[in-house]
A and B are shown apart, each in its own frame.
Chain A
């Protein structure tokens, strides 16, 4: 026989070891050194453990916190907990019991007492589990029996009416569906699962009063006369009377609901129905729902006196009030679930789903709450987990899983090792190691990212820099948000992985950087600077920007006389001076052989700025006197293009050269007809230099 599993949670290795030695012969022992490890193990295997031995004082997460989580997740109902502690204060013990602990063992341990209490607790729980399944079985049996009787009885009525034979089944299915939907949208009618099930079953009896109606009227093919209709209308009161006259079972919930339904399923919400002319919610909700289900199915079925009407048309007729007056909330339910209504009648309600309902039924009876999963589901889950863990271990990826309640981030073993953090992290937003890895504000960033998802499109991703081993590396974080089935849906967690994209991204950045820079001086090139200027002009059209273009006077001579290496030296010298004489926010570039561009912003008077820059760029290198000619253009009005500014600066530069070089000019309208020989942005750097000198 397989050994029962026990989880021992204690931060002291020796204490765990003593307990393990006491119990190890008979039980299969797992150990956890703190609350976080315990929760993680329980999350994976709560169904497998028969008992938890839990210490109170522990680092990370103490025993009370573990109990609280076990309670919230419903594990405590499956797995009994015995507290083991040196705590002797009665309020501590009291608190443990309140949180759901089954028993309390004080240190020092006595081997025989520990053993006895463990065995007793497990026996008690095993008995309870068995009881649950017995009750479940009995409810199922009982419901099957009464359902059978009700079906036979209602079928007799149907048989006599000459109805399709499916009508009762349809009304019952629709009643069940509408009641469930109704409870989702409003809490005006507090109905439990049990109530809904009883009403649905009782709905089968809605027309039993027709037993008391004459055959000739009941099965008359044509329209009923007023007198005949008056007789027909008595069936609701007759049915109710029959139930009222029952010698026994009068207080049975099914009989009570059936009475409501029989008597009042022909009442109208506006008070114009029969037999009592009840109005609005004076009509029991059971009768209101059955009335609607009855009308829908009558419309869509063939009868002796009429053909079947298509689903869509029937819904329209009902919503437009052509078939009676109904509760508007109920009509909303019908309208919003029209497709489910149609499908529910074409699909057979399988036995399996009934069985599941019963299960939650039994849970509800025993714990007065719903929920819980079957053993089979848990086994399937375990299998999926095993599969997942296997593949996760193979892929060498940083995979993670986050759940909001309990607030835990779980990393794949490989990922945790790679990042140097534990596999399970409680309250990850407050975790220092993660903050160090991802940088401040990462929790907020991930939260914002998740908020961009929807239940239909739950995937998202972003790039983050991770500080790994003292080095920043780029990772792409790909996440799938977990949305709940609630209405409205909520994010309850996320799964995802982090992929190292550092090398690829660095390569792209390097190539990009290369493509926009001049290799000799390290300044931006012409294309690069244009790329940065244009968004500024367009983005801030009201700012005052200026262009300055200059070249080095007699640069060709320097090249010819001292060689190209010297020429390069001069260019680097200029680049260096340039970098020193502009502000961080300004831009400069080498746009041709010996041609440079400066782009800057100014506030008031531009002249002192130009004068300063001009002066800074003149100097001497190896007895070669560096002088420059410069042309400057300002932005005159909003919306001016790069091309225009560039061209005007070029015209001003031309002006400086014509006037004898080694000077600068600010563009004015007198220069507007100067022809420069520059083709806009197409010529080669060397070509320009040669032509100019």
Chain B
């Protein structure tokens, strides 16, 4: 799988991120880092614990990360969830969370497949 194919699989914008970061090496480095980021786990656990503020921050971090990486699909759903959680009492439309979960799985799977194809 090429980096470009990976972006296609996870619903990202390869041209946009290359335009900004200017180097395939950098883009690849950060795409692989996506798997190490704990924000998604933090989002789920803080929602479970009813900590709305922490959940907001975690969603916000995911959103920022996706924007930087050009992960449009997960970026859009996490942005929607972020706004729903902002300054609120922790109540939100569960459909938003389901969308983020689905998009995250798609994204993580694409990145993992890409990583495996690199043989690292």
Contact = CB atoms under 8 A, between A and B. Distances in A.
Contact of B68 (A11, A18, A58): A18
B60 interface: yes
A476 B34 CA distance: 48
Nearest to B38: A13
B57 A58 contact: yes
B54 A107 contact: no
B18 to A, nearest CB: 10
Contacts of A86: 60, 63-64, 67
Contacts of A21: 26, 29
User: Which interface class (under 10, 10 to 19, 20 to 34, 35 or more) fits B?
Assistant: 20 to 34
Interface in B49-64: 54, 56-57, 60-61, 63-64
Contacts of B64: 12, 15, 85-86, 107
B32 to A, nearest CB: 10
Contacts, number: 59
A86 B65 CA distance: 9
B26 A110 contact: no
A14 B57 contact: no
Interface string B18-38: 011110001001100110010
B21 to A, nearest CB: 6
A107 B64 CA distance: 7
Instruction: Report, as a range, how many residues of chain A touch the other chain.
Output: 20 to 34
A216 to B, nearest CB: 88
B107 to A, nearest CB: 14
A110 B67 contact: no
A111 B30 CA distance: 14
Interface string A636-664: 00000000000000000000000000000
A22 B39 CA distance: 23
Contacts of A14: 30, 33-34, 37, 65, 68
- Interface centre among A13, A17, A108, by most chain B C-beta atoms within 10 angstroms, is A108
Q: Which of B17, B60, B69 has the most chain A CB atoms closer than 10 A to its own CB? A: B60
Contacts of B34: 14
Interface in B61-110: 61, 63-65, 67-70
Nearest to A19: B68
B60 A108 contact: no
A17 B33 contact: yes
B60 to A, nearest CB: 5
A21 B21 CA distance: 10
Contacts of B17: 108
B95 to A, nearest CB: 22
Interface of B: 16-17, 19-22, 26, 29-30, 33-34, 37, 39, 54, 56-57, 60-61, 63-65, 67-70
Given A12-B37, A86-B60, 19 more contacts: A11-B57, A14-B37, A18-B21, A18-B30, A18-B68, A57-B60, A59-B54, A59-B57, A85-B64, A86-B64, A107-B64, A107-B67, A108-B16, A108-B68, A109-B20, A109-B68, A110-B19, A111-B20, A111-B21
